[in-house]
Structure 1
Amino acid sequence: MSSTPTPAPVRKVGLIGWGAIGRVVGSALAAGEIPGAELVCIVDNRPLGDTAPAPQLTMEQAMDACDLIVEAAGQGVVREWGEPILAGGTDLLVASTGALTDDELAKKLLAAAPGRVYFTGGAVGGLDLLQAVRAMGRLDEVRLTTTKLPATLEQPWMDEELLRRMRTATGPVELMAGTAREVPVKFPKSTNVAASVALAVGDLDAVRVRVVADPAATSTSHVIEASGSHGSYRFEVRHLPDAANPATSQVVPYSVLRSLAALTGRGGQIL
């Protein structure tokens, strides 16, 4: 005697942020492109009026109305609201992984319950392989080089000399070299990739990061090189920057959507 399979419950999704990433993610959800996910609300600190495809709620209202919240608004949101969202029983999908370079915050999020926290890979690939290699033993060396247009990398902490070098450069200029713990703090909108690599490797201090400004760059480039006793690995990705926000890559919202599809149980996913 056969039985009819019980349909999976629909995830009620709230979206934080209606910027370059949030608009793509929210529009796809509203159009029903992610089976098993329903866009319930949008949270943003600006009035959205009739431009949004779902009601605009406060964060507290979203936590009550949703069982999954997608962060697409920056590291500050993760720091302020990550733990309360999880403690309230709502799951959280984080796009701004750079916030996890704060050890105390990372520990709080990973320990918070009953909600569960997930991270999306964003603009970089190879993380699944790095996690698999990590299970065999520690990687001896992991390097990440990120190259972007100078204007997308300007930061308030930069002195006039560094800004002048960036703005007048005719070739690549290294802006900073350090660990995956240090660099995302200085470039909060441009180095979530560094934190994602470190999460895959399991050690913020083991990942050495270089940030390079190149006036000739036609795409955003991330090069990951890793080696250990079990082998050596190299991944290179080149993305067109998002037209609305050149600091991020066009692919990032689609990475978020892929993560959502995996969370809602859509078949055929490469995990």
Structure 2
Amino acid sequence: MTRTLAVGLVGWGAIGRVVGTALAQQGVRGAELACIVDNRPLGDAAPAPQVSFEDAIERSDLIVEAAGQGVVREWGERVLTAGTDLLVASTGALTDEELAKKLLAAGPGRVYFTGGAVGGLDLLQAVRSLGPLDEVSLTTTKLPSTLEQPWMDAELLERMRAASGPVEVMSGTARDVPVKFPKSTNVAASVALAVGDLDAVRVRVVADPAAERTRHVIEASGPHGAYRFEVAHRPDPANPATSQVVPYAVLRSLSALARRSGQIL
């Protein structure tokens, strides 16, 4: 008899509510919602016991992080060393190479990552096994309001707010950009994880007042071929910095982990 996977969910925001509700309604075969961790009292809104992080580790076979990069930094290693598995949605945390090394070396729990709002990562991983890619780029375009950050100076903020067309907000590598946009550019880290090199992925972040959809364009080329992937998602109504599809990508990964039937994570 197959054992049901007990899932501890960290975060009851735009991602967590969808994932937690689906689990509570038995929408993922082979998995159940064991508990929820959130720094706000949820009361009757919680379809499972709201517990401390320490208790969640004890109650769960798998912790799902749906609350931001800080959770991965603070708790990731502790989850894994306790023998509990970890599914990371905020892949931007892995641009910290020391943290990434610690998580990959920790155990006996296992760490997994979800691709979130972007596709084509499995193909990039396959191509990587043939040899390094010569060029990899990602252009992410979002509404200006979703990209505003505390570190931005008055001139940049004014350019974004007054823009009548696309404005480049930042360019750099997949090592640099997710740190500056911790809630908006996890895709950059996901692409870099697939390619295996944070510095090889060139990233542009563009603010566009006409961006009804969040757009990610990945282009890669090398000796073995050329590849281009483009996605355009509806932003989540509750949190426009996140694409509406992200919680469903998490649920897909959960389904694969629960069933172990050969699905791609």
Question: TM-score normalised by the shorter chain: which range applies?
Answer: over 0.9
Structure 1 residue 190 corresponds to structure 2 residue 184 = yes
**Cα RMSD between the aligned structures?**
0.9
Structure 1 residue 76 corresponds to structure 2 residue 70 = yes
SS state at 1:200 partner: helix
Does the CA contact (< 8 Å) of 1:131 and 1:200 recur in 2?
yes
Q: Which residue, out of 99, 103, 106, partners 1:105?
A: 99
In structure 2, the residue matched to 1:55 is 49
Question: When the two structures are superposed, what TM-score results if normalisation uses the length of structure 1?
Answer: 0.97
How does 1:118-133 map onto structure 2 within 5 Å? 118-133=112-127
In structure 1, the residue matched to 2:134 is 140
Does the CA contact (< 8 Å) of 2:256 and 2:262 recur in 1?
no
Query: For structure 2, which runs of at least 5 residues remain unmatched after alignment?
Result: none
1:49-80 CA-to-partner distances (Å, cap 9, x unmatched) read 01010000000000111110000000000000
Does the CA contact (< 8 Å) of 1:35 and 1:266 recur in 2?
no
In structure 1, the residue matched to 2:174 is 180
1:90-134 CA-to-partner distances (Å, cap 9, x unmatched) read 000000000000010000000000000000000000000000000
The Cα shift of 1:143 comes to: 0.2
Distance of 1:126 and 1:19 partners within structure 2 = 27
SS state at 1:136 partner: coil
Deviating runs (4+, > 6 A) in structure 1? none
Structure 1 residue 159 corresponds to structure 2 residue 150 = no
How does 1:1-271 map onto structure 2 within 5 Å? 7-265=1-259, 267=261, 269-270=263-264
Distance of 2:179 and 2:148 partners within structure 1 = 13
1:180-234 CA-to-partner distances (Å, cap 9, x unmatched) read 0000000000000000000000000000000000001110000000000000000
Identity of aligned residues (%): 80
Which letter does structure 1 place at the counterpart of 2:130? M
The Cα shift of 1:265 comes to: 1.3
Query: For structure 1, which runs of at least 5 residues remain unmatched after alignment?
Result: 1-6
The Cα shift of 1:168 comes to: 0.2
The Cα shift of 1:9 comes to: 1.2
Distance of 1:268 and 1:198 partners within structure 2 = 24
Does the CA contact (< 8 Å) of 2:84 and 2:110 recur in 1?
yes
Distance of 2:82 and 2:142 partners within structure 1 = 38
Question: When the two structures are superposed, what TM-score results if normalisation uses the length of structure 2?
Answer: 0.99
